[in-house]
A and B are shown apart, each in its own frame.
Chain A
Amino acid sequence: MNQDARHAQFMERIERGEKIEATDWMPDEYRKLLLKLIHMHGVSEIMGAFPEKEWVPKAPTLKRKLAIMAKVQDEMGHGQLLLRVAEDLAAPLGKGREELLDDLLAGRVKFHNVFHMESPTWADAGVIGWLVDGAAIINQAALLDTSYAPYARVLKRICAEESFHMQHGENIILTLARGTKGQRQMLQEAVDRWWESLLFFFGPVEVTPAAQRMIDYRIRIKTNEELRQQFLNKYVPRIRSLGLTIPDPHLRYDEKQKKWLYTQPDWEKFGEIVRYNRGPKSEERIGLRRFAHEEQRWVREAMVRAHKMQAV
């Protein structure tokens, strides 16, 4: 069968709503789009562990300490699930876990803008759990019906765990919102700090050619803007109900257009942060990952070596 016919047959499968498996024939373009998406998703989970990890040693009660440990652990676990999916996609390209993480250190794969930013107070840990995870959940839930079956399977598991993260984040911020003046102020400042990043998180309003291809392949179904609108729908009323303000004087729901109007985030600034790892915390956190990946390589190599010595 020639390439064109194979491609046509593949597209028929996609259009019938069939799910694709790792060992199925797939167009290179499909593989590369998926790999780019899932690789970025996976390393974002792993980099996403760091802003909250900063608060693990300082969590203010024993219950919070345990909960945030469990939450950061889940993020790492999600990274594990996603990287496994990416590894199987990357295998025909001669890449495995080691190389996919090397890519992160070398700046060859991006991670979400939110994880480049600072989290200077305990309220940031709460807002990350509440709003950053809230945004991520909307993103991930929208992918549950993706055409790539291994991705769909891990997303199911991930979303189930995210439901704990939502409650965890909400509980922290609800406690702060009902707390002292100082706590409320800390919470408001954290919301102010994260708002613009959150809007950027969903990606550009226009449907880029790559995004269109992903929609064609049914890798994703919704556009960036649809998801951002969903986020605003769910979270703007909740933020306001707590008496918090949103740092955007132009934010309002337009009844005629049936959508939220908002001040655009600084696309250029965040674009640079993500593309060149130029956020306030990019370098430091990549440094942490380098410590784990490169400075601990001796452990991985020793474990393999010793197992082989034992086996012979």
Chain B
Amino acid sequence: MADRREYEVFEVFVRKKKTDAHVHVGSLNAPSPDIALTTARENFLRRENAVNLWVVPRGEIHETPCDEGDWFARELDRKYREVSGYSENGRLWKTYRERALYLEEIVQDLHPPSQGNRPRPRRERT
């Protein structure tokens, strides 16, 4: 591509909030990375807010094969690493007149929705 006379393809990634990861939203053609960034804003964020944008030359992306389902195969039981694998806790706690403790409850206690600790609505772009 050293003799490229045409634009290059850039993949576009958007971070919507500081606490979010970048998410792929599509691709565009641009003559250079800086122009790719400024055109990406209007081609992908005309109605949405964001705090950060990445553009990556298509050739710099390494991906898993798309039609090889086995790449992601996870067939046998892995409940031992999931919450659902421990449903008996509830029953066991009952014998001690207590109940199982879940993460959601802790989060809930630390961030009660009534106290306005919910994420505030984002400011409208004016």
Residues of A whose CB lies within 8 Å of any CB of B are 13, 20-25, 70, 73-74, 77, 80-81, 84, 87, 96-98, 153-154, 157, 161, 300-301, 303-304, 307-308, 310
Contacts and interface: CB of A to CB of B under 8 A. Distances in A.
A24 B69 CA distance: 11
B67 A301 contact: no
A183 to B, nearest CB: 30
Contacts of A73: 46
Interface in B69-107: none
Given A73-B46, A80-B28, A84-B9, 12 more contacts: A21-B67, A23-B67, A74-B46, A84-B26, A97-B29, A161-B47, A300-B31, A303-B7, A303-B35, A304-B5, A304-B31, A308-B4
Interface of B: 4-7, 9, 26-29, 31-32, 35, 43, 46-47, 63, 65-67
Contacts, number: 54
Contacts of B47: 161
A307 B66 contact: no
B46 A84 contact: no
Contacts of A81: 26
Contacts of B28: 80, 84
A98 B6 contact: yes
B26 A303 contact: no
Tell me whether chain A's interface is mostly helix, strand or loop, or mixed.
helix
Nearest to A160: B47
Interface residue SS majority, chain B: loop
A77 B45 CA distance: 11
Contacts of A301: 5
B29 A77 contact: no
8 contacts: A22-B66, A25-B67, A70-B46, A157-B26, A303-B35, A304-B4, A304-B6, A307-B31
Q: Which 8 A/B pairs are nearest by Cβ-Cβ distance?
A: A303-B31, A21-B66, A307-B32, A24-B67, A304-B31, A24-B66, A84-B27, A23-B66
A73 B4 CA distance: 28
Contact of A80 (B4, B43, B63): B43
A23 B62 CA distance: 12
Contacts of A87: 9, 29
Contacts of A153: 26
Contact of A154 (B6, B26, B35, B67): B26
A13 B69 CA distance: 11
B29 A84 contact: yes
B115 to A, nearest CB: 34
Contacts of A21: 66-67
Contacts of B6: 96-98, 300, 304
A77 B43 contact: yes
Contacts of A74: 46
A161 B46 CA distance: 10
Contacts of A23: 63, 65-67
Contacts of B63: 23
Contacts of B4: 304, 308
Contacts of A307: 31-32
Contacts of B32: 303-304, 307, 310
A154 B65 CA distance: 21
A81 B43 CA distance: 9
Contacts of A13: 67
Nearest to A9: B67
Contacts of A70: 46
Contacts of B26: 81, 84, 153-154, 157
